[in-house]
Amino acid sequence: MNPVRGIVLKILSVFVFVTMFSCVKATAEHVPPGEAVFFRSLFAIPVLIIWLAQRGEFPGKLKAIDPMGHVWRGLMGSCAMGLGFLAIGLLPLPEVVAIGYTAPFMVTILAAMFLGEQIRLVRFLALLLGLTGVVLVVLPRLTTLDADMVSDMETMGVIAALSAAVFSALAQVFARKLVATESTGAIVFYFSCMSSFLALLTLPFGWILPTGMELLLLVSAGLLGGVGQILLTESYRYAEVAVIAPFEYSSILLATALGYFVFSEVPTRLMLCGVALIITAGVIIIVRERRLGIARAPKAGVL
C-alpha cells in the first residue's frame, strides 16, 4: 500500500478523463455521439492490450467466466457513454461533470433494489442531500422563468446527462457482480470491445467523415480514455477506495477551468452551490460505506 502514489494516480486519471471529455466536446458540433463512442472505445483497445501484456494478462487471463455479464455491462456502459457525449455537446462541461456525480447515488439505490443492500438513515439523508444538489444544478435548464436562457436543446442535454448517470449506475452494478468471477483486465478489455461494436451499429444514423483536426481529437479521446482507465485501475492497487475516491471530485475544478478558458463557459452560483451539496453527500457516503466495509468508488468508470 502506498496511499500517496494511489492519490497521485487518481488525480492523474481525473485529469486525463476530463481532457478526454474536452476532446469529445470540441468535436460535438459535427460528430454524432455514436461515432465519438466508437473512436473513444476502439483506440483505447491498443493501449489496454499493451498494459495487459505487461501485466502478463493478455491473452491468457481474459477468459470470460460470465459472458452475459460482460454483454450487459457493455450495453449499459455504452448507453451511458453515448448519452454523456450527447450531453457534452449541449451543456457546459462543468454541468455535465456535476450531473455525472449522481451515478454513485443511483448505484446505492440500484444496489438496494437488485443486490439486496440496505439503505440506512445516514446514506438515505446523504442521498437526499445529493439529489437536492442535482436539482440546483439542473433547475435553470428545466425552468421556463427566462425563455431566453432556456432552450429545448439545453433541456435535452439535462435529460441526456441524467440518463447517462442512470446507465452508468447500472453499468457499475453489473461490474460489481462481475468482479466475483472476472479479472479487472477482462472487465475493462471486454467493455472497450463491446462498446466499439455497439457504437458501430449507429453508423446508419448519420456518421460523418471527420476533418483532420476532428480525427486527431477523436483518436486522442480514445487513447486518453485507455490511459485514464489504466491510471484509475492502478490507483486502487496502492490505496483503499475510501482514501482516494474523494479525489474524483477534483474533476469539477478542472472541468470548470477548461470550460471557462477553452469553451468560454461561465459557471453560475446556483450550479456551484449544487456541486457543493453533491460533493458533500458523496463524501458522506464514502465515509459511511468505508465503515460498513463496502468497497465502492464514486467514479465514471464506464468512460
Is the pLDDT score of 295 beyond 50? no
Percent of the chain with pLDDT over 90: 47
- Asked if residue 42 is part of any domain, the answer here is yes
Q: Which residue has the higher pLDDT, 99 or 240?
A: 99
What mean pLDDT comes out for the span 112-116? Answer: 72
What mean pLDDT comes out for the span 242-247? Answer: 76
What mean pLDDT comes out for the span 265-290? Answer: 84
Given a contact cutoff of 8 angstroms between Cβ atoms, the answer to whether 45 and 218 are in contact is no
40 — phi, psi (to 5°)? -60, -40
Is the pLDDT score of 302 beyond 80? no
Q: Which of 6-10, 243-247, 261-265 has the lowest mean pLDDT?
A: 243-247
What mean pLDDT comes out for the span 98-112? Answer: 80
What mean pLDDT comes out for the span 250-262? Answer: 90
Retrieve residue 46's grid coordinates.
491498443
Locus of grid cell 436543446: 153
- Asked if residue 107 is part of any domain, the answer here is yes
What mean pLDDT comes out for the span 131-136? Answer: 87
Q: Which residue has the higher pLDDT, 288 or 171?
A: 171
What mean pLDDT comes out for the span 258-278? Answer: 89
DSSP 109-176: HHHHHHS-----HHHHHHHHHHHHHHHHHHHHHH--SSTTT--HHHHHHHHHHHHHHHHHHHHHHHHH
What mean pLDDT comes out for the span 21-29? Answer: 96
Q: What is the pLDDT of residue 296?
A: 44
What mean pLDDT comes out for the span 213-223? Answer: 97
Cα angle 120, 124, 126 (rounded to 5 degrees) comes to: 125
What mean pLDDT comes out for the span 167-178? Answer: 87
Q: What is the pLDDT of residue 34?
A: 97
Is the pLDDT score of 157 beyond 70? yes
Given a contact cutoff of 8 angstroms between Cβ atoms, the answer to whether 189 and 48 are in contact is yes
* Banded model confidence at residue 191, pLDDT cuts 50, 70, 90: very high
* Banded model confidence at residue 292, pLDDT cuts 50, 70, 90: low
Q: What is the pLDDT of residue 293?
A: 59
Q: Which of 38-42, 43-47, 115-119, 134-138 has the lowest mean pLDDT?
A: 115-119
- Asked if residue 191 is part of any domain, the answer here is yes
Rounded to an integer, what distance in angstroms lies between the CA atom of residue 188 and that of residue 55?
Answer: 14
Q: Identify the helix (H) or strand (E) that includes residue 200.
A: helix 184-200
Q: How many CA atoms lie within 13 A of 33 on its CB side?
A: 17
- Asked if residue 297 is part of any domain, the answer here is no
Give the type of residue at 261. F
CA pseudo-torsion sign 210, 212, 214, 219: positive
Rounded to an integer, what distance in angstroms lies between the CA atom of residue 97 and that of residue 102?
Answer: 9
Is the pLDDT score of 117 beyond 80? no
- Asked if residue 273 is part of any domain, the answer here is yes
Terminal CA-CA length for the chain: 26
Q: Which residue has the higher pLDDT, 15 or 283?
A: 15
Range of the domain at 115: 3-291
Q: Count structural domains, the chain.
A: 1
Q: Which residue has the higher pLDDT, 291 or 88?
A: 88
For the stretch 41-87, pLDDT in tens is 999 999 999 999 998 888 888 888 999 999 999 999 999 999 999 99
* Banded model confidence at residue 8, pLDDT cuts 50, 70, 90: very high
- Asked if residue 300 is part of any domain, the answer here is no
Helical segments of the chain, H only: 3-27, 33-42, 44-54, 67-90, 93-100, 103-114, 121-142, 152-178, 184-200, 212-238, 241-244, 251-261, 269-291
- Asked if residue 298 is part of any domain, the answer here is no
* Banded model confidence at residue 297, pLDDT cuts 50, 70, 90: very low
- Asked if residue 162 is part of any domain, the answer here is yes
Average pLDDT, the chain: 86
